[in-house]
């Protein structure tokens, strides 16, 4: 295989990216421009196989442990909101929980998920905030999805993202457990979000536990 056959354009910034590493099941490319590490399209799961994997998730809104996990994003974002602010939880999964937590706190929150709450009508309005928890790593087209986020949030609103950053991994990428989920195809870093900040003239706040808050321009 030639080097050209081994390259692929970054799904976020479109720069030509070269092989970074490989394991027993997949290979990974790294973008020299925005630092995104990604799985090439040829190795992605089919939509059916992807959903079958999601169906195994045990996400229960009544589970205190799961709520504690979601609290990592809820707490810092809730502090930014005005009373009664309305939001959208993008990628809510089979057991919407973050949206319920916001509603319980007085913030109405719509939901969307490609597999479990596929209602495109939620894209016909704008919101005061948008959450995307443990979802960006699944995106096949992160550039298009992020640009959609910017259109969905009102100027001065907030986008709250939670995804594990590869530059914060406790071990080298080759041994990082997060990459072993075969539905995880994009791995962001601090530099990746800084590229988004500069490209779209945004203001970002990096919080603990891999939480990023983005102020919509």
DSSP assignment of 38-101 equals: E--GGGPPPHHHHHHHHTT----TT-HHHHHHHHHHHHHHHTTPPTT--EEEET--SS--HHHH
pLDDT per residue as tens, the chain (217 positions) = 333 445 699 999 999 999 999 999 999 999 999 999 999 999 999 889 988 888 876 676 767 888 999 999 999 999 999 999 999 999 998 889 999 999 999 999 999 999 999 999 999 999 999 999 999 999 999 999 999 999 999 999 999 999 999 999 999 999 999 999 999 999 999 999 999 999 999 999 999 889 999 999 8
Strand partners, 120: none
Question: How far apart are alpha carbons 131 and 145 in whole angstroms?
Answer: 13
| H-assigned helices in the chain | 47-54, 64-78, 98-104, 142-152, 190-199
Would you list the domain boundaries of the chain?
4-215
Dihedral over Cα of 63, 66, 71, 73: its sign: negative
The per-residue pLDDT for 190 is 98
Q: How far is CA 50 from CA 7, 74, 113, 169, 184, in A?
A: 24, 27, 13, 24, 10
Q: Which two tokens stand for residue 30?
A: 């790294």
Does the pTM surpass 0.85? The reply is yes
Tokens at 215, concatenated: 């102020």
Token pair for residue 124? 């016909």
Sign of the Cα torsion 186, 191, 195, 201 reads positive
In CATH, the number for domain 4-215 is 3.40.50
Give the whole-angstrom CA distance, residue 214 versus residue 217.
9
Three-state DSSP at 104 gives: helix
């Amino acid at each position: 295989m030639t080097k050209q056959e081994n390259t692929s354009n970054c799904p976020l910034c479109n720069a030509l990216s070269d092989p970074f590493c490989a394991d027993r099941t997949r290979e990974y490319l790294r973008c020299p421009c925005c630092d995104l590490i990604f799985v090439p399209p040829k190795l992605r799961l089919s939509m059916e196989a992807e959903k079958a994997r999601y169906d195994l998730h045990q996400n229960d809104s009544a589970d205190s442990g799961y709520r504690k996990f979601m609290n990592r994003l809820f707490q810092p974002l809730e502090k930014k909101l005005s009373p009664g602010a309305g939001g959208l939880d993008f990628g809510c999964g089979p057991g919407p929980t973050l949206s319920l937590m916001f509603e319980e706190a007085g913030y109405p929150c719509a939901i969307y998920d490609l597999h479990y709450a596929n209602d495109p009508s939620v894209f016909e309005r704008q919101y005061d905030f948008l959450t995307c928890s443990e979802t960006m790593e699944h995106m096949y087209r992160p550039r298009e999805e992020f640009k959609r986020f910017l259109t969905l949030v009102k100027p001065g609103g907030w986008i709250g993202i939670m995804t594990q950053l590869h530059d914060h991994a406790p071990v080298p990428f080759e041994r990082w457990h997060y990459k072993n989920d075969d539905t995880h195809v994009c791995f962001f870093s601090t530099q990746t979000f800084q590229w988004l900040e500069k490209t779209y003239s945004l203001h970002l706040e990096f919080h603990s536990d891999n939480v990023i808050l983005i102020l919509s321009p």
